[in-house]
A and B are shown apart, each in its own frame.
Chain A
Amino acid sequence: MFSQAMLELIGIGILETLYMTILSSVLAYILGLPLGILLVITDKDGIAPMVTINRIIGFIVNIFRSIPFVILLVALLPFTRMVVGTTLGPNALVVPLVIGSAPYIARLVESSLKEVDHGVIEAAQSMGASPSQIVFKVLIPEAMPSLIMGGAIAVITILSYSAMGGFVGAGGLGTLAINYGYYRYQVNIMLITIAILVLIVQGFQELGGRLMRRFDKRL
């Protein structure tokens, strides 16, 4: 059905997509996780209330979350060129992927951490735990199952964003689908890339679910 060359292209597309998705996810968490933690602890009912800081972070996060990803992608092109030296290829797409998803991750982390029972935090405070001890020994470990599930959602979202990178020649399955399926009307290529994307999404979701069950001690 496909030529050897086409299969190779698809193979490279898969690798590039996974590369972009995983690298962006890691970098976006490095940015988004601390932001999410800050949103929780600086809340007026948090363990280190700082209302002004909380408002500022919340505001920035909301701005970035309200920009559609394709627009952010284009708007960031000069910045991307400055950081990576080019606007083409997987590495270039990592920049907008990280900036576009970190605020989303911050909100995901925030909602996971807020699920932790306030009584448990109070118990830790009664034992003389400092705010940082509460973050690292109570909030994160207690919210771990939920954080893992949020992680799967974040990775899947980044994957779908990465496909949009096809329009700016970022490489990966998205570029493949657009170049062959959209511009050259090769519907079968489009379908196969969609099928592969579905499988990858399914894979991440399944992995997230398994890890969550493995970590959750609440039975």
Chain B
Amino acid sequence: MANREPMIELIGLGKTFESKNSYVKALEDINLTIYEGEIFGIIGLSGAGKSTLVRCINYLERPTTGKVIFDKTDLSEVGDRELLKIRQSMGMIFQQFNLLMQRNTLQNICFPLEIAGVSVKDAKKRAYELLDVVGLTDKAKAYPAQLSGGQKQRVAIARALATKPKVLLCDEATSALDPTTTRSILELLREINKNLGITIVVITHEMSVIEEICNRVAIIDESRIAEIGDVEEVFMRPKSKIARQLVFSGANHIDSFVGEDKCRIIFDGRTSFEPVIANMVLECRTPVNILFADTKDIDGKAFGQMVIQLPEDESSKKRIFAYLEMHKIPHEEVL
């Protein structure tokens, strides 16, 4: 990524919401660069400031401090009119889809083109192209109320792409969808990124979404960036407390096994996980207890993680670590 051009730069970004009797610091000292063509993830718990962050990127929210530089333009320096123009090169999709309920699919996709002043004929032509991209050609005349959640999000994606934006901002775009639909929408985003070269910013509270499509990720916690890096790196060696919490996601309860030594084993696709555990147990001659497992079988390779409870006696413990070291299986002791 380093050789690519920066697409979005956030410098010392801060946002405070002030009203008569309240004062909320939603963002503080956010510094990050998103490069052209990457899929960048922003993850955090609810209320961390993710939506505020993404709304600052297209200046729907004006930052109180710091700068947003989009495609070499400092957004704080452009006039209102120019800002509207710039927004046409940043598409955005939402958790609740936000389609116009009184317009059919085709009219929804034409909407941003009408805003941009494109002729009706050209807008329709473009809309049909996009319907093809998102695979909904047969739903051109359907109204949002007649579509499923996944189909609505596809329409929203087509709509966001209508003005040929350079960036697509996705705020919890799959959070209202079931796992299968989520996967198909993420697949579509990946295709769009690959085929159209559009930079994608994915906001989510689910680590699985980040793992599925992102190249890099920023973890945001209590208004600040806690950690930032390549997804694999963050996933395998989470440094901050919040990162560990998100990586473990469903396995928060592990912390409650106090006083017992645990080990997290990471499956990075180089091995198939079954023999790892089985062989380890055989070789080390000690049984292990699996506390948590979240693994996926992709083309016969294991991805994911597993937390095992280590045996009490030190020698068995050493043997297990020796085994993991020897087979170069990424792992870490969890205390």
Contact = CB atoms under 8 A, between A and B. Distances in A.
Same complex origin of A and B = yes
Contact of B84 (A120, A128, A145, A215): A128
B92 interface: yes
A218 B147 CA distance: 11
B102 A141 contact: yes
Nearest to A143: B102
Interface stretch (B32-40, B112-120, B222-230): B112-120
B115 A141 contact: no
Contacts of A215: 102
Interface string A194-219: 00000000000000000000011111
B114 A126 contact: no
A129 interface: yes
B98 A122 contact: yes
B90 interface: yes
Chain A contact residues: over half helix, strand or loop, or mixed?
helix
B317 to A, nearest CB: 53
A119 B159 CA distance: 15
Interface string B140-160: 000111100000000010011
Contact of B100 (A120, A126, A145): A120
Contacts of B111: 124, 127, 137
A142 B100 contact: yes
Contact of B94 (A119, A137, A141, A218): A119
Contacts of A119: 94, 96, 98
Interface in B230-270: none
B163 interface: yes
Contact of A123 (B84, B90, B98, B116): B98
A217 B100 CA distance: 10
Given A122-B94, A128-B88, A142-B102, A137 B115 contact: yes
Given A119-B94, A141-B100, A142-B102, A126 B58 contact: yes
A137 B114 contact: yes
A217 B98 contact: no
Interface string A122-144: 11111111100100011001101
A8 to B, nearest CB: 46
B145 A218 contact: yes
B143 A219 contact: yes
B334 interface: no
B145 A127 contact: no
B183 interface: no
B101 interface: yes
Contacts of A130: 84
A124 B58 CA distance: 12
B319 interface: no
Interface string B156-199: 10011001000001000000000000000000000000000000
A219 B114 CA distance: 25
Interface of B: 58, 60, 83-88, 90-92, 94, 96, 98-104, 111-112, 114-116, 143-146, 156, 159-160, 163, 169
16 contacts: A117-B96, A117-B98, A123-B99, A123-B156, A124-B115, A126-B60, A126-B87, A126-B90, A126-B92, A127-B112, A127-B159, A128-B85, A141-B100, A141-B102, A215-B102, A217-B102
Interface of A: 117, 119-120, 122-130, 133, 137-138, 141-142, 144-145, 215-219
